[in-house]
Amino acid sequence: KAGVTQTPRYLIKTRGQQVTLSCSPISGHRSVSWYQQTPGQGLQFLFEYFSETQRNKGNFPGRFSGRQFSNSRSEMNVSTLELGDSALYLCASSPSGTTHLYTFGSGTRLTVV
């Protein structure tokens, strides 16, 4: 069966711009979680969506937002990009949010210049 698909794989943006990343979960999975991975901070939880509702949020500024559509696909948006937002952004889908049933995508590598 198809895995978790994240698009685009690579992205280069300029400081001050905004960016939207997309995540298509495994068919039937209703939960999508987003994580940011940087060399300095490692993997950090951004937020989780379940049935179009944000259920949980990590400690990130309001510039980071997301949403989930009725087909469970999710997008995250980062506004007013900063150099420090350069990272690998990973999404994980699971049937209901259960963490031992996570399937991660390969991520979107965002570079802010």
Partner 1 sequence: DAKTTQPNSMESNEEEPVHLPCNHSTISGTDYIHWYRQLPSQGPEYVIHGLTSNVNNRMASLAIAEDRKSSTLILHRATLRDAAVYYCPPARAPPSFGNEKLTFGTGTRLTIIP
Question: Contact positions toward partner 1, by CB under 8 A?
Answer: 4, 33, 35, 42-45, 48, 50, 55-56, 58, 90, 92, 96-107
Q: How far is CA 37 from the centre of its chain?
A: 10
| Cβ burial, residue 99 (10 Å; 0-12/13-18/19+) | exposed
Contact 36, 21 (CB under 8 A): no
User: Would you say 35 or 64 has its CB closer to partner 1?
Assistant: 35
* Residue 26 DSSP label: P
Rounded least distance, CB 80 to partner 1, Å? 25
Q: Is the Cβ of residue 16 or residue 61 nearer to partner 1 in the bound state?
A: 61
Q: Which is nearer to partner 1, 65 or 79 (CB)?
A: 65
